[in-house]
Amino acid sequence: MSDYQYDNQTVRGFILSSIFWGVVGILVGLLISVQMWKPEFNFPPYFTFGRLRVVHTNGLAFGLGLGAIFGITYYIVMRLCKRPLLFPKLARYHLYFFNVAIALAAVSLFAGMNQSLEYAELEWPLDIAVVILWVIFAVNVFGTIIKRREEQMYISLWYIIATVVAVAVLYIVNNLAAPAGPFKSYSVFAGVNSANVEWWYGHNVVGFIFSTPILAMFYYFLPKSTGIPIYSHRLSIVAFWSLIFAYLWTGAHHLIYTPVPDWIQTLAIVFTMFLIAPSWGSVVNGYYTIGSDWSSMKNNYLTKFFLLGITFYGLQTVQGPTQGLRTVSQLIHYTDWVPGHVHMGTMGWVTLTATASMYYIIPKIHDTEIYSVRVANTHFWLVLIGQLIFSLTMWITGIQQGALWKAVNADGSLQYTFMETLSKNYPYWKMRTGAGVIFTVGMLFFIYNIYMTIRKGKALQGREVAR
Partner 1 sequence: MKGQLYKNPILFAVVSTLVILIGSIIMMVYPMMTREMHPKLEALKPYTALQLAGKDIYQREGCNNCHTQTVRPLRAEVARYGEYSKAGEFAYDRPFLWGSKRTGPDLARVGGKYPDMWHYRHFENPRAFFVESNMPAYGWLKDAKLDPKDMEAHMKVNGFPYTPEEMTTLLSKTELDALVAYMQVIGTAVTRKLAAAPAAAAENEGKNPLAGDTHAIHEGKELFDSNCSACHGGKGEGGIGPALTDKVQLSDGKIYTTIDKGTQGGMPPFGAGMDKKKIWSLVSYVRSLQTK
Residue 409 is a binding residue for partner 1 (CB under 8 A)? yes
Which residues in 170-199 contact partner 1 (CB under 8 A)?
173, 177-181, 184-198
> In this chain, which stretch among 83-91, 110-118, 372-380, 444-452 interacts with partner 1, using CB under 8 A?
110-118
| CB of 408 or CB of 460, closer to partner 1 | 408
**Residues 389-420 as b or e (16 or more Cβ within 10 Å = b):** bbbbbbbbbbbbbbebbeeeeeeeeeebeeee
From the centroid of its chain, how far is CA 263?
Answer: 30
Residue 328 is a binding residue for partner 1 (CB under 8 A)? no
| CB of 242 or CB of 311, closer to partner 1 | 242
| CB of 178 or CB of 466, closer to partner 1 | 178
Residue 216 is a binding residue for partner 1 (CB under 8 A)? no
> In this chain, which stretch among 29-37, 98-106, 220-228, 446-454 interacts with partner 1, using CB under 8 A?
29-37
Which residues in 51-90 contact partner 1 (CB under 8 A)?
51, 53-54
Contact 106, 60 (CB under 8 A): no
| CB of 38 or CB of 455, closer to partner 1 | 38
Contact 85, 144 (CB under 8 A): yes
> In this chain, which stretch among 68-76, 307-315, 412-420, 457-465 interacts with partner 1, using CB under 8 A?
412-420
Write down the least CB distance from residue 42 to partner 1, Å.
4
How long a stretch of residues is the chain? 467
Residue 1 is a binding residue for partner 1 (CB under 8 A)? no
| E strand or H helix at 283 | helix 276-291
Q: How many residues bind partner 1 (CB under 8 A)?
A: 100
Write down the least CB distance from residue 442 to partner 1, Å.
26
Q: What is the DSSP letter of 408?
A: B
Residue 185 forms beta bridges with which residues?
Answer: 179
| CB of 134 or CB of 301, closer to partner 1 | 134
**Residues 118-147 as b or e (16 or more Cβ within 10 Å = b):** ebbbbbbebbebbeebbebbbbbbbbbbee
Contact 445, 24 (CB under 8 A): no
Which residues in 421-460 contact partner 1 (CB under 8 A)?
422-423, 426
Contact 155, 236 (CB under 8 A): yes
Near partner 1 by CB under 8 A: residue from 1, 419, 465, 466: 419
Residues 6+ positions from 74 with CB-CB distance below 8 Å: 7, 10, 11, 14, 85, 91, 140, 141
Write down the least CB distance from residue 246 to partner 1, Å.
7
Residue 46 is a binding residue for partner 1 (CB under 8 A)? no
Q: What is the 3-state secondary structure (H, E, C) of 10-69?
A: HHHHHHHHHHHHHHHHHHHHHHHHHHCCCHHHCECCCECHHHHHHHHHHHHHHHHHHHHH
Residue 227 is a binding residue for partner 1 (CB under 8 A)? no
Number of neighbours of residue 66 by Cβ within 10 angstroms: 25
Which residues in 251-310 contact partner 1 (CB under 8 A)?
251-252, 254-255, 257-261, 264, 267-268, 271
Contact 285, 231 (CB under 8 A): yes
Write down the least CB distance from residue 300 to partner 1, Å.
29
Residue 400 is a binding residue for partner 1 (CB under 8 A)? no
| CB of 207 or CB of 223, closer to partner 1 | 207
Near partner 1 by CB under 8 A: residue from 5, 295, 327, 413: 413
Near partner 1 by CB under 8 A: residue from 164, 283, 361, 438: 164
Residue 205 is a binding residue for partner 1 (CB under 8 A)? no
